[in-house]
Amino acid sequence: MTMQLAEADWLEGLIEWTVQCDRMMDSLESRSDKLSDTTIDTGAWQLRFRELGEMAEAYRERLLQDEETAITADEMELLNEKAHQLRSELVQLMAENGSEELLEDNERNADDEERKSTTTVPIGGHTLPPLPYDYNALEPHISEEIMRLHHAKHHQSYVDGLNKAEKEMQKARETGDFSLIRHWEGEAAFNGAGHYLHTIFWENMSPNGGGKPGGEIAKEIQRTFGNFNQFKAHFSKAAENVQGVGWALLVWSPRSHRTEILQAEKHQNLSQQDVIPLLVLDVWEHAYYLQYYNNRKDYIKAWWNIVCWDSVNRRFNEARKVKWQPY
């Protein structure tokens, strides 16, 4: 299957999902006994599903008509982000109304996992992912100024640095000149880890976040850390005590078959390999200094109000499928 056809198949699945969700909203009024809150504006939700479906349909038609009209990577990524955000809001809506079971017969994965499995980032072709919310959406916990600088400047610099390193190493392979390979490998490690962690970081936050987790990640936290408060205290102290700049990480360990809390200095140092990050907190000063100055502890406390547990659950449900022989 060519990439073009794979993209078209993904779009067809997204269209089907929007139709199913439209029908689900249409049926909510006749199933009011399933709802704890009858004030859902089903018409507004249906309009959003139809707009997303129409966009996906238009993209699919362009893909299948002619290769010259193929959709750009940026266009596909934007559509994917819209689908991802809409699904996240839908899951939260159903959870708030005690109606998660209504999703079971209608759920079609609107995430990007299927598309990502068919799309390879070319060497030196990484791009800055769009935020799934506005720059001011996380206020008052994180200011618009910080988010704008953090995303558009700092994260972009990691993308640019990673692309440069990949292209230079490609050049080294082509010429056989590896005299600077140590430098470029170091640049790829630093900037690549920075790019990937920030991409998770943005998804790990939401203006509608905070509180305690539900779902499978809540069960895992209970099993591994005893209870949520013990987990939160451990994670917070790990973040507070990162020496210099770095991250606190909740990860899935395929070897241990459980979650762990780790630190990472800079982006790539003093951590573990062969683990999958689920929840990450950036404690570089550029993440909080303009608002919290040198009070990292207050920044961490505020951050818990915007943790997107839906994002953590999605990552956990995929990550725990990876299991190695335990040792």
Supply the pLDDT for residue 101.
57
Asked if residue 272 is part of any domain, the answer here is: yes
Supply the pLDDT for residue 295.
95
pLDDT exceeds cutoff 60 at 113: no
Asked if residue 179 is part of any domain, the answer here is: yes
Supply the pLDDT for residue 87.
81
Q: Which residue has the tokens 């769009």?
A: 130
Per-chain mean pLDDT for the chain: 86
Asked if residue 24 is part of any domain, the answer here is: yes
Asked if residue 121 is part of any domain, the answer here is: no
| 37/110 same-domain check | yes
Supply the pLDDT for residue 83.
84
User: What's the total number of domains in the chain?
Assistant: 3
Nearest alpha-carbon partner for 109 in 135, 90, 134: 90
Tens-digit pLDDT profile for residues 190-201: 999 999 999 999
The domain that holds 272 is classified in CATH as: 3.55.40.20
| 85/27 same-domain check | yes
Asked if residue 131 is part of any domain, the answer here is: no
Asked if residue 210 is part of any domain, the answer here is: no
Strands of the sheet containing 258-265, edge to edge, are 258-265, 246-253, 276-282
Which of the four pLDDT bands, split at 50, 70 and 90, describes residue 30?
low
Q: Which range among 56-60, 139-143, 208-212, 285-289 shows the weakest confidence by mean pLDDT? A: 56-60
The domain that holds 152 is classified in CATH as: 1.10.287.990
Three-state DSSP at 230 gives helix
Which residues are paired to 252 by β-bridges? 259, 276
pLDDT exceeds cutoff 50 at 132: yes
| 196/220 same-domain check | no
* Range(s) of the domain holding residue 269: 215-319
Q: Tell me what the mean pLDDT of segment 80-105 comes to.
A: 71
pLDDT exceeds cutoff 60 at 100: no
Asked if residue 180 is part of any domain, the answer here is: yes
| 197/222 same-domain check | no
Supply the pLDDT for residue 61.
84
Give the CA distances from residue 273 to residues 112, 183, 234, 268, 320, in Å, rounded to whole numbers and listed in that order.
25, 21, 21, 10, 16
Supply the pLDDT for residue 11.
85
* Maximum Cα interatomic distance, the chain, rounded to a whole number of Å: 70
| 236/186 same-domain check | no
Three-state DSSP at 143 gives coil
Tens-digit pLDDT profile for residues 59-81: 888 877 765 555 676 677 788 87
The four Cα atoms 134, 139, 145, 150 give a dihedral, to 10 degrees, of -70
Tokens of 248: 């606190």
Handedness of CA 77, 83, 87, 88 (dihedral sign): positive
Which residues are paired to 279 by β-bridges? 250
Higher pLDDT, 1 or 138: 138
Which of the four pLDDT bands, split at 50, 70 and 90, describes residue 82?
confident
| 7/112 same-domain check | yes
